Amino acid sequence: MKIVILDGFAENPGDLSWDGIRAFGDVTVYDRTPKDAILTRAAGAEILVTNKTPLTKETLAHLPDVKFIALLSTGYNIVDCAYAKQRGIPVSNIPAYSTESVAQLVFALILEHTRQVGLHSRSVAAGDWAKSADFCYTLAPLTDLTGKTLGIIGYGSIGKAVARIALALGMRVKATSRTHTAGGDGGVTFCDLDTLIATGDIVSLHCPLTPETTGLVNRDFLRKMKPAALLINTSRGPVVDEQALADALNRGEIAGAGLDVMAQEPPQADNPLFTAKNCFITPHIAWAAYETRQRLMDVFTANIAAYIHGTPINVVNP
């Protein structure tokens, strides 16, 4: 059986092993595959594996041997799943492997804003503490999270994990989602979106990318936020209007932002958020911890094994 992994580097830059997959057949791993090389590299493959390499209808139509598509990700919009279903090709993703890891990065971004660890560490390394007249000093306002309100938009598994950490830190938590707009859940209060935006000291996005959420964070959204509020996005980049956010930061309409995702990845070098005030950006690394990627590899291997045994699991186009 021929198995081709089109873009394996992000999942395994060399610290994990593909041996679990090699046990199933003849495996070829490419770090990255440009669009014009997909057909050549995928030719003859029964199992085709992708992370971000697009598998469109036009591409799949020229790959008659493909019988199963395995994703190295949770998201599956990179594959034309409807066409794959027409062909009888199951598409399996990797669900819920990064929940805790994403929640941890949310608070890494929040704490970088509120405690300014990087700023002060660089200052100490530059010799400022050694020259200080006092035993301590601060270079920016520091904020205690206790009693602050965290607003969570999207109360799925990651939103719930974020809420648990916030509650452990003594924060108040409000949340809203398509299925939760009133009531409560173990210390979390549900409310409508406008109330959450207006009352959150921190607003954290955990909603899926849909036509309704694309551009959700726009000028009107940002103007409803508190001037001292932070915006955190670890969900999907297009949920945020990036120019509107840059403008709001530069005008001081909100206090700061922490982002792990962008509308285009990699982003253009002239993205306005790169020079916006108080904006911390990480390169889509919420999922990238070693332990998290190992969990992904384990589920991926199980997906391949289930297909080979005739009972595909985690199928997104049943």
Q: What is the pLDDT of residues 29-68, one digit of tens each?
A: 999 999 999 999 999 999 999 999 999 999 999 999 999 9
**Could you give all domains of the chain from N- to C-terminal order, each with its CATH number?**
2-97+290-308 (3.40.50.720), 99-281 (3.40.50.720)
Catalytically annotated residue among 22, 122, 251, 265: 265
What's the rounded mean pLDDT across residues 178-200? 91
pLDDT of residue 182: 78
pLDDT digits (tens, 9 = 90+) for 130-145: 999 999 999 999 999 9
CA angle 164, 170, 175 (to 5 degrees): 50
pLDDT digits (tens, 9 = 90+) for 243-297: 999 999 999 999 999 999 999 999 999 999 999 999 999 999 999 999 999 999 9
CA distance 13 to 142: 37
Which two structure tokens, joined as six digits, stand for 210?
């849909």
Q: Is 100 among the residues known to form the active site?
A: no
**Dihedral angle over CA of 160, 71, 101, 125, nearest 10:** -140
The pTM assigned to this predicted structure is 0.93
Q: Is 265 among the residues known to form the active site?
A: yes
pLDDT of residue 169: 98
- Closest to 203 in 3D by CA, of 272, 106, 117: 106
Q: Is 46 among the residues known to form the active site?
A: no
Please give the C-alpha separations between residue 57 and each of 76, 83, 84, 90, 97, in angstroms, as whole numbers.
Answer: 14, 6, 8, 14, 28
Lowest mean pLDDT among 70-74, 79-83, 140-144, 182-186: 182-186
- The average confidence (pLDDT) of the chain is 97
pLDDT of residue 289: 97
Judge whether residue 172 has pLDDT over 90: yes
pLDDT of residue 179: 83
Mention every residue, 6+ apart, whose C-beta is less than 8 A from residue 123: 129, 139
pLDDT of residue 215: 97
pLDDT of residue 140: 95
Judge whether residue 181 has pLDDT over 80: no
Judge whether residue 180 has pLDDT over 80: no
Please give the C-alpha separations between residue 178 and each of 9, 181, 298, in angstroms, as whole numbers.
Answer: 35, 7, 31
Judge whether residue 184 has pLDDT over 90: no
pLDDT digits (tens, 9 = 90+) for 92-106: 999 999 999 999 999
Ordered DSSP codes for 189-208: EE--HHHHHHH-SEEEE---
Catalytically annotated residue among 236, 242, 293, 295: 236
pLDDT of residue 178: 86
pLDDT digits (tens, 9 = 90+) for 206-222: 999 999 999 999 999 99
